[in-house]
Structure 1
Amino acid sequence: MRPLLALCVTVTGAAALQVPLLPSTSQMPVQSASERKPLIDSSALQDLISGDRLMARAKEMFEIAKLGEDEYNHPTRVIGSLGHLGTLSYIYETILQLGDYYTISNQSFPAVSGNIFESRLVLGNEVPKSAVPMGLTPATKDKQPVHGDLILVDNDGCSPSDYPFKVSGNIALIRRGDCAFGTKSRLAGKAGAVAAVVYNYEKDSVQGTLGNPSPFHVATFGLSGEEAQTIIKKLKNKESVDAIAYIDAEVKSILTVNIIAQTTEGDPDNCVMLGGHSDSVAEGPGINDDGSGTMSLLEVATQLTKFTVHNCVRFAWWAGEEEGLLGSDYYVYNLPPEENQKIRLFMDYDMMASPNFAYQVYNATNEANPAGSEELRNLYVKWYEERGLNYTFIPFDGRSDYDGFIRNGIPGGGIATGAEGIKTKKEEKMFGGKAGEWYDPCYHQLCDNVGNVNETAWVVNTKLIAHSVATYARSFEDFPRRMSVATSVAYREQTKYHGPRLFN
């Protein structure tokens, strides 16, 4: 293992925290890349992508995740863990070894990290199978079970007037809809609830996040609409339902780091930007989510050094994606307008190797997104079609790090291979695998290890990443010029997620 380079940083109101000690851009030597290298060529770059090299990186990444075992009792690369610090060190050192082809910068930022150790919800005599704690939920009082009657909240629980006085000292049952889960939890806490349960208006479960912590947040679960139906019927018939809620969790403030690597050559006013997230969830090592994207970017960045580029290429490894797109949001929202305009497009690469994969393309259109998003989507489609590979469109709904870019006028898109979604019979015929099962049966679980990646899908998609980089590093001919940093109203209205979890 490489040694971890770390620095203790004191944050006001928080304990000393560990972040990697990475030289800033000003500390890095900048020299001219070799003039003898050929101009970037897509086919030549794709030919350099190797499944053996990707799998070797996966094995190394899993060893890094084991650094989190002492604190979490299993491998993890969640932000704030030694596994994530090791990941950052690995990314940084890999780029550093490529010499003067790239300049490297690190961007430290404050983040909120949540960890749930134990949880249980009992409603009447039932333990609902779909009940899961919300992301960034606080613990129940004193990290002990709390008891009370289940009180049905009026409407969608988005106004203080929706909470009857009977909520005080009891457990609020709130319908999903109209406002953020964090708002519902905060209002329930202000009304005196000892815990809250948010149920879905659809049959599916609710896997959401409370977002930025509030002192009024209470321990909050999500519940499927299917399991909520019988309970709601009882409550509306004036029958009482007692409940027990228990969550042992922590929410803490930390510092973490984005790593940015940019080619020293190429037009700096016309940048091709692409990224993946460096962190996993606390529950597992995250070798597919998003170790696969992290390693694909590292491999493409490594092989790109054999070529010259017309346009600059900027790679990013974001921290805190699993906590709600923290790193990418911080980066984009802190860009001066003139720097925003230099990014011609952003490409997101998250989960490239799901075992029960489908080749998925974000359905980004120019009608709903900044101009250029549709051209990028069509580049992916054309590449799959030219190779006789099937593909499917998936919603462009805020689930990954493209979100901040689209909201700030930067065209974007990406590809994926599927998370907790269920493969259809049609997709089974298109891609193989098993219908009726998740694309990634180990999504956000301990089993997301080296055995959880499909090498075939991983190589195919890494070659497509290489093609996307090579195409725009060579030329932006026929690609729309940047016109505005304004947010897309159509995109904002259709967005349901802010990261991997629903936010309302």
Structure 2
Amino acid sequence: MVSRSLRRRLGGIAAAAVLLGAFVVAGPAQATSSGNGVRQLTKAVTLGGVLRHLTALQVIASHNGGNRGSGLPGFDASADYVATLMRLAGYRVTRQPFQFNFCEDTASSFAQNAPAPITYVDQQDYDVMTCSGGGTATGAVVPVDLQLTTPNASTSGCEAADFAGVAGNIALLQRGTCPFGQKVANAEAAGAIGAIVMNQGNTTGADRQDLFLGTLGTPVGIPAISISYPQGVAFAGTPGLNVTVSAETIAEVRNTENVIAESRYGNPDEVVMVGAHLDSVPGGAGINDNGSGSAGILEVALQMRNFKTKNKVRFAWWGAEEANLVGSTFYVNGLSAEEHAKIALYLNFDMIGSPNYQFGVYDGDNSAGEGAGPGPAGSAQIEAVFEAYFASQHQATAASDFTGRSDYGPFIATGIPAGGLFTGAEVDKTAADVALWGGIAGQPYDPCYHDPCDSLTPERNGADAAVYAQLRRVYHLFGNVNTFAIDKNADAVATAVATFAHDTSSIPPRAPVAAALAAAAAAPAPAQTAQGDWIG
């Protein structure tokens, strides 16, 4: 029975979705041995089951201001939905509360005053950085230690000595080396009244050339915006440049939580951990980012409720990922050395249904040789399980770098092997990608990434109608989710979870982790700062 208070929080239709899920969970099922668990679990996880959860998450968002962001009612209702179904399925559910810096911008403007007046468009020409300060700043633009020639090895704004002449003006900073928050905080300390952070330009890829969404992590006291690399180069080359930056922002400490559910069966000293972040950005429903991963692991968990696994399986739905991996970091930093050592591996699923998808598998062995190095020992073995599954489906895969952009970050930073799936975000699909997976070259893997149109009605919520019409001609979409991609990925999730729930012998033992845990508790994980595309 769903309580009246829960019905009120979820809204009538979403409460019906909870009841539907409860009905499915309550259906007759026999306890299953682990011998044929991989095949049985993969068969039990269906596209329809995953889409049912996506529908519920959309209804929750629609009843709560159009979003499911941590610190907002839509996230609380999402957590209720997941926790209720997992309890009904017989899991031991823990709701782990924590506090985080809630940041949101409600209005902004950006204009050039001299040498000629130009008005710029929000989310097209610039973006307000998450945790920007509020207010209006008008002043001259002062470039800060920019590196505009190859290889663009920027340390702009990382040292206090960079800021000569910035006081009373607006600092033009370049992405690279240290976190965005450090750059802007240094600018503020040097007396800057505003900050503009340009992309780095160290590669020709869209992620280092185009407009990007940057997260400062901790609130600052001056307005801060991001711009593309070409726009930054143009600003740096404009004599007498004077601009006005204005932002209306909210920055305060709020409460949120992680939802953690542990299986009834399995060795408690050998834990297979499976996670996805449950929160959306405050500006949308987050159906792909990360309703897709949350729904995928939820359906896998519900279908394996009666599997008698050899190892304990622990599912986690993280809060405040969009605020800098706060929930997963809080969880990992709170583990004792003994509990940390019990986690054999971590599987992460963040965006597994991108409409213009790739089949990305985290590059545990660094075979692609790009970006970050390999994951901790055991990560290569996790990658191999996913690769074997996709090979059995005659599907190509791409090596997805451990950039630190998702919740595996604090796990790998403390030595826990990790792996998972990623169908792509704001980076454009290439012609080579199209040859492998179809779709549209020159458009992002997710054209609605971090936008209101990441919903079950993307065109109604502002998506480019022409782009989505073209996508629908080559793919079957369920809102902003590609049904083929999420179906295959949900089966891949089931395959990996069932494989390791039965046998973790391929994962090598770890060295003692007390020192790593102490270091992680004292400072943000390196993957969150040096590598994270959102924060550095």
TM-score (norm 1): 0.86
Q: Give the drift of 1:483.
A: 2.5
Q: Give the drift of 1:96.
A: 1.1
1:218 aligned partner: 222
1:76 aligned partner: 67
Q: 2:118 matched to 1:126? A: yes
Asked if the contact 1:397/1:495 (under 8 Å) is kept, the reply is: no
Q: 2:431 matched to 1:442? A: no
Q: Secondary structure at the match of 1:161?
A: helix
Q: Can you give the 5+ residue segments of structure 2 that lack an aligned partner in the other structure?
A: 8-28, 147-155, 202-208, 367-372, 457-478, 520-524
Task: Provide the C-alpha distance between the structure 1 equivalents of 2:348 and 2:246, rounded to a whole number of angstroms.
Answer: 37
Q: 2:260 matched to 1:260? A: yes
Task: Provide the C-alpha distance between the structure 2 equivalents of 1:113 and 1:494, rounded to a whole number of angstroms.
Answer: 18
2:130 aligned partner: 135
Q: Give the drift of 1:2.
A: 6.9
Q: Secondary structure at the match of 2:287?
A: coil
Task: Provide the C-alpha distance between the structure 2 equivalents of 1:458 and 1:201, rounded to a whole number of angstroms.
Answer: 33
Asked if the contact 2:363/2:374 (under 8 Å) is kept, the reply is: no
Moved more, 438-447 or 177-186: 177-186
Asked if the contact 1:496/1:502 (under 8 Å) is kept, the reply is: no
C-alpha spacing 1:494/1:268, structure 2 compared with 1 (3 Å) = closer
Task: Provide the C-alpha distance between the structure 2 equivalents of 1:131 and 1:5, rounded to a whole number of angstroms.
Answer: 40
Q: 2:282 matched to 1:282? A: yes
Look up the equivalent residue of 2:297 and give its one-letter code: L
1:92 to 67, 78, 83: 83
Look up the equivalent residue of 1:37 and give its one-letter code: T
Q: Give the drift of 1:487.
A: 5.3
Q: 2:371 matched to 1:371? A: no
Q: Secondary structure at the match of 2:269?
A: strand
2:483 to 437, 450, 455: 455
Structure 1 residues 232-381: aligned runs within 5 Å: 232-234=236-238, 239-365=239-365, 368-381=374-387
Look up the equivalent residue of 1:431 and give its one-letter code: W
Q: Give the drift of 1:88.
A: 0.5
Q: Give the drift of 1:121.
A: 1.6
Q: Give the drift of 1:170.
A: 2.0
Look up the equivalent residue of 1:132 and give its one-letter code: D
Task: Provide the C-alpha distance between the structure 2 equivalents of 1:130 and 1:415, rounded to a whole number of angstroms.
Answer: 31
Asked if the contact 2:410/2:527 (under 8 Å) is kept, the reply is: no
C-alpha spacing 1:2/1:86, structure 2 compared with 1 (3 Å) = farther
2:54 aligned partner: 58
Asked if the contact 2:281/2:322 (under 8 Å) is kept, the reply is: yes
Asked if the contact 2:198/2:226 (under 8 Å) is kept, the reply is: yes
Moved more, 420-429 or 309-318: 420-429
Asked if the contact 2:158/2:183 (under 8 Å) is kept, the reply is: yes
Asked if the contact 2:403/2:527 (under 8 Å) is kept, the reply is: no
Q: Give the drift of 1:493.
A: 7.8
Look up the equivalent residue of 1:378 and give its one-letter code: A
Look up the equivalent residue of 1:139 and give its one-letter code: G
1:27 aligned partner: none
C-alpha spacing 1:248/1:5, structure 2 compared with 1 (3 Å) = same
Task: Provide the C-alpha distance between the structure 2 equivalents of 1:54 and 1:370, rounded to a whole number of angstroms.
Answer: 31
Task: Provide the C-alpha distance between the structure 1 equivalents of 2:529 and 2:379, rounded to a whole number of angstroms.
Answer: 16
C-alpha spacing 1:199/1:435, structure 2 compared with 1 (3 Å) = same
1:24 aligned partner: none
1:185 aligned partner: 184
Look up the equivalent residue of 1:108 and give its one-letter code: P
Asked if the contact 2:141/2:170 (under 8 Å) is kept, the reply is: yes
Moved more, 337-346 or 194-203: 194-203
Q: Give the drift of 1:157.
A: 2.0
Task: Provide the C-alpha distance between the structure 2 equivalents of 1:429 and 1:222, rounded to a whole number of angstroms.
Answer: 33
Task: Provide the C-alpha distance between the structure 1 equivalents of 2:79 and 2:185, rounded to a whole number of angstroms.
Answer: 34
What CA deviation, in whole Å up to 9, does each residue of 1:440-499 have, x standing for no partner? 11111111112111111111111110111110111123321223436599x94897444x
What CA deviation, in whole Å up to 9, does each residue of 1:328-386 have, x standing for no partner? 00000110001000000000011111111111011122873211000001111111112
2:92 aligned partner: 103
Moved more, 386-395 or 167-176: 167-176
Look up the equivalent residue of 1:298 and give its one-letter code: L
Structure 1 residues 482-501: aligned runs within 5 Å: 482-485=510-513, 492=526, 496-498=530-532, 501=533
Q: Give the drift of 1:36.
A: 5.0
1:231 aligned partner: 235
Task: Provide the C-alpha distance between the structure 1 equivalents of 2:183 and 2:437, rounded to a whole number of angstroms.
Answer: 41
What is the CA RMSD across the aligned residues, in angstroms? 2.3
C-alpha spacing 1:240/1:472, structure 2 compared with 1 (3 Å) = same
C-alpha spacing 1:495/1:179, structure 2 compared with 1 (3 Å) = closer
Asked if the contact 2:213/2:534 (under 8 Å) is kept, the reply is: yes
Moved more, 167-176 or 380-389: 167-176
Q: Secondary structure at the match of 2:64?
A: helix
Asked if the contact 1:113/1:323 (under 8 Å) is kept, the reply is: yes
2:467 aligned partner: none
Q: Secondary structure at the match of 2:309?
A: coil
Look up the equivalent residue of 1:130 and give its one-letter code: D
TM-score (norm 2): 0.81
Task: Provide the C-alpha distance between the structure 2 equivalents of 1:381 and 1:3, rounded to a whole number of angstroms.
Answer: 46
1:153 to 135, 144, 154: 144
1:17 aligned partner: none
Look up the equivalent residue of 1:120 and give its one-letter code: S
C-alpha spacing 1:90/1:2, structure 2 compared with 1 (3 Å) = farther
1:162 aligned partner: 162
Look up the equivalent residue of 1:137 and give its one-letter code: S
Percentage identity across paired residues of the two chains:
34
Asked if the contact 2:413/2:527 (under 8 Å) is kept, the reply is: no
What CA deviation, in whole Å up to 9, does each residue of 1:427-450 have, x standing for no partner? 111111111111111111111112
Q: Give the drift of 1:207.
A: 2.5
